[in-house]
Amino acid sequence: MIETSRSVSDTLSTILAKAVPGLGDSSHTITDFGQTLRGRGALVLVDGVPYNTNRDSARNLISLDPSNIERIEVLRGGSAIYGSGATGGIISINTRPAGGPLRIETVVGGTASLSKLSSAGLGGRIQQFVSGSVGDVDFALDGGYRRIGGSFDGHGDRRAPEPSQGDLFDSNVWNVGGKAGVRLGADQYLQVSASYYRADQNTDYAADPRVNLLPAGTLLARPLKGLDLADQNQIRSTVVTAHYSNKDVLGSRLSLLGYYRDFFTRFTPFDARGVATRGRNVDQVMQNSQVLGGRLTIDTPIAERTSLTWGGDFNQEKSDMPDDIFDPAAYDSSGGLVFDRIGTLIYMPKLTTRTYGGFAQLQHRFAGWLAVEGGVRYDRATASFHDFVPLSQYRAANPVTIPGGKLSFDAWTFNGSATVTPVDGQDFYASFSQGFQLPDIGLQLRNATAGFNINNSDLKPVKINSYEVGWRGRFGRARGTLALFRTTSKLGDVQSFNNGLILLRTAEKIRGVEATFDLGEPTDPIRVGATMTYMTGREKAATAAASQMMSGYRIPPLKVTAYIEISPTERWDVRLQGLLSGDRDYRLNGVTSFGRRNVSQYATFDLLSRYRVTDKDQLTLGIENVLNKQYLPVYSQLLRNSLNTSRVPANGATLTATYKHIW
């Protein structure tokens, strides 16, 4: 699915949005901000390594190339085995494995805008993959380069850069990685791996600030040529892992994973002169994160129908956010095009977060028709930082230093489920799970004012209760699922109003329904399928008399996806797929605010065609937004920066052609 879907959507967040029920539509930019799973955050794991950071930069799904993905599994609800971050569920990604017969694969491709035929809308990529085995040693090597050109909407107009979270128009993207594994006898295996991903933007366009002179939501974002900015949007991600497994340690299976990740991202410059907590500067924020961790997992059979999975994990994150400051006079005189750096300040000091966890999950099958499982997890976390001068004091005559501090948290979480199979192919289940998540402490530090005291912030961890009942079954060539879910939390995410110290924790209740349907086997000449997700969410502050609906960044509108696949011959497949995003009014008493606007419905369709020329050659053609519809994704309608510069339409019709050869 991933390989074929790349022919119309080259970002993982958009690919998943068109296939996974419960996951909101993507922003169609660089960020996965607001793309929740069942209204809550998703923990992204790549070969078991968490890509989430406590200081959430919303770059979790963009930091790896889809070319290297072998399989994706999406799990809903909390898990005893994985800790902080999995409040909505887990997106578990496995990259292509090492070993097996020698395989050499080359992929080349090109992309062109059909709504605006010009060289500016051209892009391309080349990807090389090699894997195999030599004796007891397995190996895999991969590497690629991609050029992303300019992007054009359904009217043929260049899409403006998104200044709040950023994009990758006019960018160069590199990825390289390798795995080496050795079999240490019949039961033991040791593998080390390393990967590097880098995306650098180099565009001539900025977002025209003049569109912000009109009321928000009344004008589309507009590009402005002539950008003079030395360092543009960038992502760098280096991951190193070591994995040891043993199939028989006193009758148990053991898996030990160690990992290190070095992550950097640079955001788009922003005119923050109206924001006191950012020092009233024209600035550009960066984030550095170094993550070190490990996980021990042991599977112990207790009886013929009973098994226990247990172990522990550790994660340490060190993040900081430097902030480049630009000359405001040069910015104003150029109309928002010239950024002359005059210094670098601290937006967020180095924040060290450590989490220790232990877990146990018991599975038991009473009979062929009944299976149950339950688990428990304990997490303890600490967060610390040193003295720093916040941006709010940048222009003060006597800057106030915020004293350093240390916080500690802990939480027990539980889960349990039962599955009944009255007849083969029909499962009915009920489950309860709890998720645990640390609040984004860095978000509070960077907004600190002179009177800030971390001990006065209500930064207790978020504990989520998730309830679900459902059915999954099969009738001949038809398969389907139906799930009803409800999640609650006494403390929702920390909310910061006006970028200041006024913090509010809200109790939250989310409920919804998901359904999927598929008809046909892979060998059938015609196959069809669809998914549907609908959810609602309410929040209530401790001081409020009544609850209110949650914002559009947390609760997406109705989402329906559908596809039909036809195989005219054994070598030729054609797929038409569509996505419908419904309308919803998130305003409170008609008043707009952050994440609270009236969202209009849109539907978009993609056309894919795959032809296997020979057993070793394959040609794939795809057209994203084949009807060339002009529409605004939910993210753009909600206006991330509350200004028209965030009102960026999605891609118009875009053609992607890919050729794969296996040597």
Whether 623 shows a pLDDT value over 90: the answer reads yes
Span of 51-60, 148-157, 190-199 with lowest mean pLDDT: 51-60
- Arithmetic mean of pLDDT, 7-29: 91
pLDDT for position 1: 60
pLDDT for 439? 76
Residue 154 near residue 628 (C-beta atoms within 8 A): yes
Asked whether residue 626 carries a pLDDT value surpassing 50, the answer given is yes
In degrees rounded to 5, what are phi and psi of residue 416?
-160, 150
Q: Per-residue pLDDT for 553 more than 80?
A: yes
- Identify the band that residue 493 occupies on the pLDDT scale cut at 50, 70 and 90: low
CA distance 622 to 612: 15
Total residues belonging to the chain = 663
Question: Which range is least confidently modeled, 106-110, 126-130, 394-398, 609-613?
Answer: 394-398
Query: Which segments of 98-254 does DSSP mark as H helices, in order?
Result: none
Q: Is the pLDDT of residue 120 over 50?
A: yes
545 pLDDT exceeds 70? yes
Query: Which among 64, 67, 145, 142 is positioned nearest to 98, based on CA atoms?
Result: 142
Place of tokens 């999605």: 650
Q: How many other CB atoms are there within 10 angstroms of residue 116's CB atom?
A: 20
Residue 500 has pLDDT above 70, yes or no: no
What pLDDT, in 10s, does the model give residues 427-470? 999 999 998 887 778 877 887 888 787 777 667 788 899 999 99
Q: List the structure tokens of 482.
A: 């139906």
How confident is residue 499, by pLDDT bands cut at 50, 70 and 90?
A: very low
pLDDT at 502: 44
At residue 301, what are phi and psi to the nearest 5 degrees? -75, 130
Model pLDDT, residue 547: 92
The residue that leads in pLDDT, 394 or 121, is 121
Instruction: Report, as an integer, the average pLDDT of 169-184.
Output: 97
User: From residue 371, how far is each of 355, 462, 480 by CA, in Å?
Assistant: 32, 30, 20
Sequence-ordered strand ranges (E) for 86-233: 89-95, 103-113, 123-134, 137-148, 171-183, 188-201, 205-207, 223-225
Tell me how crowded residue 80 is: count the other CB atoms within 10 A of its CB: 25
Separation between Cα atoms, residue 633 and residue 389, nearest integer Å: 38
- 225 by Cβ neighbours in 10 Å (0-12 / 13-18 / 19+) ranks as exposed
In this predicted structure, the answer to whether residue 630 has a pLDDT above a threshold of 90 is: yes
Read off the tokens for 494: 């920390």
| 3-state SS assignment for residue 251 | coil
d(CA 487, CA 464): 7
β-bridge pairing 42-46 and 89-95: parallel
595 within 8 A of 549, measured Cβ to Cβ: no
Name the amino acid, one letter, at 656. T
Read off the tokens for 90.
């887990």
Over the stretch 569-606, which tens digit does the pLDDT of each residue have? 999 999 999 999 999 999 999 999 889 999 999 999 99
Q: Distance (Å, rounded) from C-alpha 35 to C-alpha 545?
A: 29
Tally: H helices and E strands in the chain: 5, 34
- Extract the tokens encoding 114: 């059909």
pLDDT band at 10 (very low <50, low <70, confident <90, very high): confident
Rg (CA), the chain: 25
Query: Predicted confidence band at 496 (pLDDT cuts at 50, 70, 90)?
Result: very low
Residue pLDDT, tens place only, 293-347: 999 999 999 998 999 999 999 999 999 999 999 999 999 999 999 999 999 999 9
Q: What is the pLDDT of residue 504?
A: 62
* pLDDT at position 203 over 90: yes
Per DSSP, the three-state class of 571 is coil
The pLDDT value given to residue 136:
95
d(CA 164, CA 270): 7
Distances (CA, A) of 297 to 21, 49, 300, 375: 29, 14, 10, 14
d(CA 649, CA 647): 7
| Strand 602-614 versus strand 598-599 pairing type | unpaired
Widest distance between CA atoms in the chain: 77
pLDDT tens profile 77-88: 877 888 777 788
For the stretch 361-393, pLDDT in tens is 999 998 889 999 999 999 999 999 999 998 888
3-state helix, strand, coil split of the chain in percent (to 5) is: 10, 55, 35
Residue 616's pLDDT band, with cuts at 50, 70 and 90, is: very high
Model pTM? 0.94
Tell me the average pLDDT of the chain: 92
Question: Residue 278, SS3?
Answer: helix
- Between 490 and 557, the higher pLDDT residue: 557
**Residue among 233, 240, 182, 242 at smallest CA distance from 58:** 233
- Which amino acid type is present at position 139? F
Residue 655, pLDDT above cutoff 60: yes
CA distances from 90 to 77, 269, 484, 487, 532 (A): 8, 32, 18, 15, 19
pLDDT at 11: 87
* pLDDT value of position 416: 95
The end-to-end CA distance of the chain, in Å, is 22
**Is 329 strand, coil or helix?**
helix
